[in-house]
Structure 1
């Protein structure tokens, strides 16, 4: 068994090294600069501790689908030059998935234990990592944005790295939070696959949260063989669930892959349109 695991890890590592770097593909999108002022079509602004972007085709009175995004851990760098700031303004997934049209893009923060500042790593403060201030802010912000601009029946939660784990850990933490979402997109990592430094990251606790998913769809992707590792964990638990597993096709742990053309980005966009249109999943081949 140990030998088999070793060779699986070795092949996964080699696979990741053979994949292209995202910088080998020129971006076809640039995230709009963060500016001061009230929300408006085509503008990305800071509102309290979160960042809000109204798409270029938004008009007053319109109720549009919403992408809610959770960032990766901050203070992260790797040998490929990938960086994560841990701040809402550093996020890229939602803009790449929507190309700035058709979806409101809300980048939500994680909060410290007092709830008065952004947590750069995980949520709350060590060693308790209390998620309640973050959950409260998340629920209130999503409801506020939907009341003003969005369709509360078409809210998709997505996240990168820490945010991918948080799609279930926070997004399905309790019934009140879980009912906000019509679908989930997790990029790189997944709740329950590994244990982490915060409480209740074990598989038994993750399964309790997973029960709140119901029949809602999830798009699960990652660099290298990351998504396949999640599939090996999740498929036996939810064999009939509406789950999509794909590699990004890049080696990078970097959410800027959605700012570049790729087959997986096209599939993610098609999935997003399907989830927010209420259409059923395509039949399995």
Structure 2
């Protein structure tokens, strides 16, 4: 039996030992303590159990450095998963719980983080490994306006993310979508919104941005005079999962964009 009667250095060792027993061996002491307290069930050796006095959790946590940003995301992920057992928490849900933007680029983005936590389905894992470059680029791109994200929303709404759309339909859908959201209307300001003027505006902005190879040397989308389409190939069996994963990031990124714009354009 392990107790917490000791100085805080010895207590930290005991908490980490409990974490190792429960398979939590990569987190800080404070995060390990919170996770042990939050979990209804733990993967322990047969005949072992961990019982924590919840009244002491706050006092013990105050002895140690606070959880890191990544650890706060793990704690939020665990809490959300526990409250909705048949639903994998989304990027937006966890961000709303922590009040922070995600910083997982070195892990392969949000889905790389989920993979480390063992929370990707086999289908999501295959999509992530095969299309990691696109998903990481999307998650960590620069968005001074909402246009690139709105473009993806229109494609997703038309079930055309992997096949593309006529440029005229893409531009029309984007204007309709933006006009439904007052804070997005501010992005296009005094741009012409007649059919020809808006199409030209959309070509000059998100279409040009998405079709620019940039530092990668290869763009994720291509356009000719009439059509906008992806340059990547998606297996038919992966289309739905790829679309859902892209949509999850777009929803998160649009929320972050609007949250930033509330305090000034960034």
TM-score between the two structures when normalised by the length of structure 2: 0.24
- Higher relative strand content: 1
User: Which structure carries more relative contact order (alpha carbon 8 Å, separation 6+)?
Assistant: 1
Choose between structure 1 and 2: higher helix proportion: 2
User: Larger radius of gyration, structure 1 or 2?
Assistant: 2
TM-score by length of 1: 0.22
